[in-house]
Amino acid sequence: MKEIFRNKIFRFILSSPASKQGEFRKIDGKLLLKNGEEVFFLEQFSPKNQAFHRHLKVEELEKFITDNFGGNFRQLELYDAEFQHSFRAAKKRTLYNKHRHNENFAVKSAQNREKNYILKEGMAIEPLIELGIFSRDLKIIKAKSDKYRQINRFIEFIADATASYQVGDRIRVIDFGCGKSYLTFIVYYYLTFIKKLDAEILGLDLKADVINKCNLLAQKFNYKKLKFQLGDIGKFTDGDGVDMVITLHACDVATDYALFNAVKWQSRIILSVPCCQHELNSQFDCTEFPMLQRYGIIKERLSAILTDNIRAELLRSEGYKTDLLEFVDLSHTPKNILIRAIKSNALDDKKRQEILTEVAKLQEKFNFKQKLYSLLNPAL
Ligand SMILES: C[S@@+](CC[C@H](N)C(=O)[O-])C[C@H]1O[C@@H](n2cnc3c(N)ncnc32)[C@H](O)[C@@H]1O
């Protein structure tokens, strides 16, 4: 059974209770999205057929099944993308068989995600119309549907991270590498008009033409607290009092400078979707495992993954509760990791040192030096 948990599980059913006196006669768990994160939604049926609902984290599934199957329930169905795996706890051994099912769980999950969008088709959101994501009759323009999906997903993460903010609360946000600023405008719209916060947002980018255009657009919408500034993330100094730093596809080490700034200013929330993680790829040299650099595509992907893994660990070492989450489905963009870091308690020196030592060992093994590591630890 352990093997099966390596696959993504979309549904499970525990049935055939060991005792009629048991609390539940059946538990049906389905993978759904809640606040942008995948969780299992459990329907638990009592012997009188009342349904009780609860959520179960994805990482808790295996333990939940192990705790319940064999003891409380004799029958288990596990559905991965392809197969329905059936287990029966008999007296002396567990019987197992599998067959291909016809369910399309991946699609269902994506549809569910669409349904939960915060910014829905038909909503008169000026920036979405002006930036060409919605048509004048408030329909998504097909060519921009990926952008629409990304923005919505990002807003879901922002909604989650700002859940404790109340109407009228002040929040200062910086979007580093804002580019054409689809996201920046929508974050302003969401925080100001949907969440009704006192939001002040700054978008920073290297490109003068886009910065000028964005400032004109902000004036046109009368978005008084949305400003755009020309500048280099690495040289930006006006970040005191920032509550949330966001980046969407800030290129290569620009993400590291943004994360470094956020840490330096103790930003409470960091949400960052990196891209073009080329830095390690150009240095990567692992004599112990030459196969890891034999195939360009593997080396490139491994470098990108190691980069984001190191970034997450470094944020953890700085007292952030950090997660790496799926941003949008891989089928829409390969840039699909979002780094979410929420300021928490400072780590004690020993734990911090353990993280830095582990990163240092990894760097040594692959013969690279990661930018955020150097920025945060200039003496090492
Ligand atoms: C791929 S675009 C993403 C734009 C926007 N965030 C989006 O998702 O639509 C990356 C942007 O980062 C900006 N950028 C890259 N390095 C930068 C730096 N060091 N300082 C400021 N902006 C930077 C680029 O000019 C570009 O507009």
- Rounded Cα gap, residues 249 and 244, in angstroms: 16
From the CA of 257, give the closest atom in ligand 1.
Answer: 19
Mean model confidence pLDDT for the chain: 91
Range with lowest mean pLDDT among 214-228, 332-346, 358-372: 332-346
Beta strands 244-251 and 170-176 are parallel
What three-state secondary structure class fits 239? coil
- Rounded Cα gap, residues 332 and 153, in angstroms: 12
251, 252, 260: which to mutate for ligand 1, most atoms within 8 A of CB? 251
Q: State the burial class of residue 125 (Cβ atoms within 10 Å of its Cβ: 0-12, 13-18, 19+).
A: buried
Question: Domains plus CATH for the chain?
Answer: 2-109 (no CATH), 118-376 (3.40.50.150)
Length of the chain measured in residues: 380
Q: Which residues pair with 94 in a beta bridge?
A: 89
pLDDT at 106 over 80: no
Cβ distance 313 to 358 under 8 Å? yes
pLDDT band of 330, cuts 50, 70, 90: low
| Residue 213: predicted pLDDT | 95
Query: Residue 252 C-alpha to ligand 1 middle, in angstroms?
Result: 10
Q: Residues 32-44: pLDDT tens digits?
A: 766 567 788 888 9
Query: Residue 261 C-alpha to ligand 1 middle, in angstroms?
Result: 16
Sign of CA dihedral 353, 357, 363, 367: positive
The token duo for 290 is 């030459």
pLDDT at 318 over 70: yes
pLDDT band of 355, cuts 50, 70, 90: very high
Nearest one of 118, 148, 153, 115 to 133, comparing CA atoms? 148
Q: Residues 70-79: pLDDT tens digits?
A: 989 999 999 9
Nearest one of 84, 94, 121 to 10, comparing CA atoms? 84
- Look at ligand 1, atom 26, and give the residue with the nearest C-alpha: 179
- Rounded Cα gap, residues 72 and 341, in angstroms: 38
From the CA of 184, give the closest atom in ligand 1.
Answer: 6
178, 212, 247, 253: which to mutate for ligand 1, most atoms within 8 A of CB? 178
Percent of the chain with pLDDT over 70: 94
Query: Residue 347 C-alpha to ligand 1 middle, in angstroms?
Result: 32
pLDDT band of 107, cuts 50, 70, 90: very low
Query: Residue 349 C-alpha to ligand 1 middle, in angstroms?
Result: 35
From the CA of 177, give the closest atom in ligand 1.
Answer: 12
Query: Residue 115 C-alpha to ligand 1 middle, in angstroms?
Result: 30
Query: Residue 354 C-alpha to ligand 1 middle, in angstroms?
Result: 33
Query: pTM for this structure?
Result: 0.73
- Look at ligand 1, atom 24, and give the residue with the nearest C-alpha: 177
Sign of CA dihedral 237, 238, 243, 246: negative
Q: Residues 242-260: pLDDT tens digits?
A: 999 999 999 899 999 999 9
Cβ distance 88 to 94 under 8 Å? yes
150, 154, 206: which to mutate for ligand 1, most atoms within 8 A of CB? 206
Mean pLDDT over 118-134 rounds to: 87
pLDDT at 187 over 90: yes
| Residue 332: predicted pLDDT | 61
| Residue 51: predicted pLDDT | 78
- Rounded Cα gap, residues 167 and 195, in angstroms: 7
> Pocket around ligand 1: residues whose beta carbon is below 6 Å from it?
177-180, 182-183, 204-207, 232-234, 248-251, 254
- Rounded Cα gap, residues 184 and 128, in angstroms: 11
Mean pLDDT over 164-188 rounds to: 96
pLDDT band of 334, cuts 50, 70, 90: low
pLDDT at 130 over 70: yes
Q: Residues 23-66: pLDDT tens digits?
A: 899 999 988 766 567 788 888 998 888 878 888 999 999 999 99
| Residue 110: predicted pLDDT | 45
| Residue 120: predicted pLDDT | 83
| Residue 116: predicted pLDDT | 63
Alpha helices in the chain (DSSP H): 61-68, 105-115, 126-130, 145-161, 182-189, 208-220, 254-264, 279-283, 296-317, 349-366, 371-376
Name the packing angle between helices 296-317 and 349-366 (round to 10°).
Answer: 160
Cβ distance 32 to 41 under 8 Å? yes
Q: Please give the distance of CA 215 from its chain centroid, rounded to a whole number.
A: 29
Mean pLDDT over 274-288 rounds to: 90
Cβ distance 62 to 72 under 8 Å? no
Q: Which residues pair with 21 in a beta bridge?
A: none
Query: Residue 178 C-alpha to ligand 1 middle, in angstroms?
Result: 6
Query: Residue 119 C-alpha to ligand 1 middle, in angstroms?
Result: 24
Cβ distance 325 to 154 under 8 Å? no
Q: What is the Cα Rg of the chain in Å?
A: 24
From the CA of 210, give the closest atom in ligand 1.
Answer: 27
- Look at ligand 1, atom 20, and give the residue with the nearest C-alpha: 232
Q: Residues 193-244: pLDDT tens digits?
A: 999 999 999 999 999 999 999 999 999 999 999 999 999 999 999 999 999 9
Cβ distance 219 to 228 under 8 Å? no
Which comes out higher in pLDDT, residue 107 or 243? 243
- Look at ligand 1, atom 12, and give the residue with the nearest C-alpha: 177
- Rounded Cα gap, residues 4 and 8, in angstroms: 8
- Look at ligand 1, atom 4, and give the residue with the nearest C-alpha: 179
Which comes out higher in pLDDT, residue 115 or 336? 336
